[in-house]
Structures are given as C-alpha cells and as structure tokens.
Structure 1
Amino acid sequence: MKYQIEKAVADIGVKVVFGSVEGVDNTGRNPEWEAERKVRLENLQKRFDGLDIHGDEVFEGYHILHDKSGVKRRKNIPSSENLIKMLLKHGDMPFINQVVDIYNVISMESRLCVAAHNLDKVDGNLTVRFSDGTEKYIPLGQEQPVPMNPHEYCYCDDSNEVLCRLEIRQVNKTKVDENVRNILYIIEGNEATEEDFLLEVMWKIIDTTMKYCGGNGKIFRPNIVARNLKG
C-alpha cells in the first residue's frame, strides 16, 4: 500500500503523517485507561478554559487551509477544535470505543487533527488530493452518498472513495468499531506545525494504543505526487 499527497495540496500547507497498528483488540474498556482518561480530560478542561481559537496558531492554521481551498470557516470546524469545544461544553467526552477514545484525547492534547480507519476496508493506495466532484462520499452516520465540492482536499483510496473530507469528517466505509483488527491513523498538520511534532504525536497514539489494545505499530511518510492519481 502506498501513501501519497498531491503536490498541489502540499503546496497550500497541508502536512500529513500516516501510521498503523495491526492486531489490536478493541473490545471492552480498560480500567487503567479509564483512570488515566479522567485525569487527562480534567487537565484539558483547565488548559483550554477561555481559549481564543483564532489566537491559537495551530487551530488558525487549519482555517487558513480552508480559506485556500474555498471552504467556509463557520460550517467547517477542524476535528480537534470541535472535540475541545465539546469537552468544554459537556465536561466529558462520549466513549465510543477504546481506540477512538485514545486518539481523541491525544488529538485534543496536541491540537492536531487525527483520524482513524479500518485498514482492511481501504481499497488500494491512499492519496491526499483535491476533489473534482466525481468521488463517492458517504459521511459517518449517513447511508447515502453526499456530493463533494470540487477543490476540497480529501483522502481517497483507489476506488475513488473519500475516507476523510478535509480534516473534518470520516466515513462509514472505514469506520472503527469494536471488531476492527488493523487500524490506519492519519495526522494532519498545517503551516504552524513541524513534521517532527506530527511524528511525535503519532508515536504517542501508536504507543498508547499498543499499551491498552495490543498490536504492532508503524509510521509512514507520504510520497509527493505531481498529479491527481485515481487507481
């Protein structure tokens, strides 16, 4: 499997690191993680109380990427920003499953946008590219395809199906549930984030996932491709 980013997408400031953990057990809830999770969420609430989103260079960096892609800010909130706003509003985060819970916490701590996918459901290679409107896109929680606007950066496999729109919305096709065995992680950064930081956070996610869910992890840097590749 190849991991690729279109040069035109990289040129606007999108930075991406991929990782995987294969052979996980994503069933149940680990009591040790539950205790650690509680402390980390409490610390996050204290840290981000009164946060000025647009005064934070990492969050603002995602909105700048949206500006360059013609995406409206108000309706398109980066996933890490959305998680933090949810935590501050409710004082807690809903538990979906162990894998999702771990990367959500680390996403908030790092402010980086993180996505996870069932690696076994990805068709062929994965390319970060600008959409042209022909892609198949079925957002998480929906049953019918939704049209993709042209010139939005997205993560597509060789079947021309979107796995993640911008750094905002994942999809049903590669949903991570309790039965997943092999995980693909995506960390997206922007011009305010160094690649070393993305790698550091990816290792945190991989190491924490292996600690509580088992498996073996790896990191992949994408190749830069000069043009749109679809299978």
Structure 2
Amino acid sequence: MLDQIIVDQAVRDLRPDFAVLAITAEGLVNGPSDDTAFDWLAVAGERSGDAQEHPHVLAWREAYQAFGAKPKRTRPSVDALIRRADSLPAINKVVDAYNAVSVEYVLPIGGEDLDGYHGAARLVRAAGDESFDVIANGEPAVEHPAPGEVVWRDDEGVTCRRWNWRQCIRTRVTEDTKNVLFLLERLEPYPLDRLHEAGDDLAARLRVISPDVRIQSRLIGA
C-alpha cells in the first residue's frame, strides 16, 4: 500500500513544498474513548496556545486559496481542530490519538480505514465528476468536488475533499476499524524533523492502544 501512494504532478506544481508522511497501522484493537484518550485530548488543548496564527496554519490557508477554496468557509483540518482545542470531541481511541497529535504538532492528519479502500491512495486535482459519499439530512448522499480541487482519492472515488477538509463515510475510522492509513501533511516552513517526531508520537500512542499493532511509514514528496 505505502509504495503505491501517489502525489500527482499537478499538486506538486501547485505546492512544490508539500510532503506527506504516510503511516499504516495494521492489527489495531480500537474502541470507545477511554481515560487515556480523554487525557490526550485535554493535554493537546492545553498546549495549543495561540496556534491559529502558527506559520503552518497560515501556509495551509494559502494553499487552499491557491486551488480556489475559501479557508474561512472550509478550513484546513488542523485550523478547524485548533479552534476547538479547549473542547476537542472524543470520537474513539484511534481518532482521539491522531486528533491530539494533530493539535499538539499543528499538523493536518487524516485517518482512513484501509479495509474501505479500493486501490491506492492518490492526491490529485479533481476533474469534478468524482463521487464523494456523505450523510446529508440523515441519509446517504453523493457529492462531487469542484474541478481543480485538491483531493485524496482511490479507484472508487474521493476519500477526502479539499486536501484535508472533510473525509468520506466509506473510509472513516470507527470503533471496529482494524487497519488504518494515516496521512500527516506538511508545507514549508514546517520542519521535516518535526514531521517525523509527530509520526513517532502517533505510533507510540497507537502502541498504547494496541501493543501488537504493526506500523510502517513512508515519506512522500520531500
């Protein structure tokens, strides 16, 4: 899986400074949020400080504007999380772990259920006819990205719109998820060594959740 992940040239042309640390975690035993997860979220909130004006948040707002998105309307994931840092929502142990790392390291992190994937993950600029499955008004629905929008996708459709804004339903991480692809996304001036520190921190938390988890990683684009 990791060696098949692609960042398309059109995205590289848009932001040559983009890099993603892709991590697979297989054999997870996920479950409802527990005291450890609550502590991770609380500590992340306490450490977030005034991160809304962090250079990495500003870089992501610029990247959104470059492909036509409005970052005040559809915020980069890390920007949205930091704004809720004093009351980060508890979802499940795995999601709580990567949300806490995202806030502490001021870094967009996505988590995708590998068993819901069809083919390899690819970061591309959308044609506009790709499918994106959501829940709208309590019912399953299909949306489509805007032409030129930066999206993560697989062979079936879009898995995350507007780079890291919103994930589809098909690959979301639930309490039953066992195998996950994490995408830790970086733009300059974010240091690559800090990116790897975040990956190591996430791996350590996953081992707290599931001591026998099998973890691999690959840096793409740097």
TM-score for the superposition, normalised by structure 1: 0.84
**1:84 counterpart (65, 77, 82):** 82
2:19–2:221: 8 Å Cα contact kept in structure 1?
no
Task: Tell me the distance in 2 between the aligned counterparts of 1:170 and 1:184.
Answer: 13
Task: Tell me the distance in 1 between the aligned counterparts of 2:135 and 2:116.
Answer: 14
Partner residue of 2:160?
A: 164
The AA in structure 2 aligned to 1:206 is A
The number of aligned residues is: 214
Q: Does residue 181 of structure 2 align to residue 201 of structure 1?
A: no
Instruction: Quote how far apart the aligned CAs of 1:202 are.
Output: 1.6
Instruction: Quote how far apart the aligned CAs of 1:147 are.
Output: 1.9
Deviations 1:145-167 (A, max 9, x none): 112101111111122x1111111
2:126–2:149: 8 Å Cα contact kept in structure 1?
yes
Task: Tell me the distance in 2 between the aligned counterparts of 1:104 and 1:56.
Answer: 17
**Pair 1:21–1:99, CA change in 2 (3 A):** same
**Pair 1:147–1:212, CA change in 2 (3 A):** same
Task: Tell me the distance in 1 between the aligned counterparts of 2:34 and 2:72.
Answer: 37
Task: Tell me the distance in 2 between the aligned counterparts of 1:8 and 1:43.
Answer: 36
Structure 1: tracts of 5 or more residues without a match: 225-231
Q: Does residue 91 of structure 2 align to residue 96 of structure 1?
A: yes
Instruction: Quote how far apart the aligned CAs of 1:121 are.
Output: 0.9
Structure 2: tracts of 5 or more residues without a match: none
**2:145 counterpart (138, 145, 148):** 148
CA RMSD of aligned residues (A): 2.1
1:116–1:186: 8 Å Cα contact kept in structure 2?
yes
Q: Alignment partner of 1:138: what SS?
A: strand
Instruction: Quote how far apart the aligned CAs of 1:223 are.
Output: 7.0
TM-score for the superposition, normalised by structure 2: 0.88
Instruction: Quote how far apart the aligned CAs of 1:197 are.
Output: 2.5
Sequence identity (%): 24
